[in-house]
């Protein structure tokens, strides 16, 4: 941890096997580009980077969590009980999907895509389709799970 005495802020600096790398990732809003900030700590200028790894997740200025949402699959094997599938979904898929979510810059379209993926997985596990005309809330109640927006916020 490095101290920024003028502001009274503790800033974690990325430590590697070699020298200290002072980096910052600037994510502009979707409304338009904004200039990357210049930040100085104890006479060192933090380098603006396009991506870096944080808590095992690759953060990027391209705000490309959209592609990550669709990488996960839930078992479709009919020999596995629904209860087991739900337990695996809760233990493996959801944590993998939401790992590092506290550091994401999420927008409503990300939440919407995550919710759609969540519902699609649960409907596959529960073997329901659009013809059953079930509400999203009834699916969550049957699975005994919360919505993604509730989980993230």
Parent domain of 12: 2-60
What is the domain count for the chain?
A: 2
Averaged pLDDT for residues 107-120: 91
**In terms of domains, do 53 and 106 share one?**
no
**In terms of domains, do 76 and 124 share one?**
yes
**In terms of domains, do 81 and 136 share one?**
yes
C-alpha dist (Å) from residue 123 to 81, 106, 142, 149: 14, 24, 10, 18
**In terms of domains, do 137 and 76 share one?**
yes
* Among candidate residues 128, 127, 122, the one with its CA nearest the CA of residue 146: 122
**In terms of domains, do 141 and 78 share one?**
yes
What are the pLDDT digits (tens) for 55-104? 666 666 665 444 444 444 546 677 778 998 898 888 888 888 888 887 88
**In terms of domains, do 111 and 82 share one?**
yes
Q: Work out the pLDDT band at 144, boundaries 50, 70, 90.
A: very high
What are the pLDDT digits (tens) for 40-69? 777 777 777 777 676 666 666 665 444 444
**In terms of domains, do 80 and 143 share one?**
yes
**In terms of domains, do 140 and 80 share one?**
yes
């Amino acid at each position: 941890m490095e101290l920024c005495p003028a502001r009274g802020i503790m800033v974690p600096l990325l430590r590697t096997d070699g020298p200290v790398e002072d980096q910052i990732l600037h994510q502009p809003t979707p409304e338009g580009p904004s200039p990357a900030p210049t930040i100085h700590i104890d006479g060192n200028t933090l380098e603006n980077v396009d991506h870096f790894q944080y808590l095992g997740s690759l953060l990027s200025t391209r705000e490309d969590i959209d592609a990550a949402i669709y990488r996960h699959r839930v078992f479709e094997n009919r020999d596995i009980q629904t209860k087991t599938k739900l337990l695996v979904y809760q233990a493996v898929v959801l944590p993998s999907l939401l790992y590092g979510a506290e550091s994401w810059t999420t927008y409503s379209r990300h939440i919407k895509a995550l919710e759609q993926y969540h519902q699609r997985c649960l409907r596959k596990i529960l073997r329901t389709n659009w013809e059953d005309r079930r509400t999203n809330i009834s699916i969550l109640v049957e699975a005994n799970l919360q919505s993604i927006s509730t989980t993230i916020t």
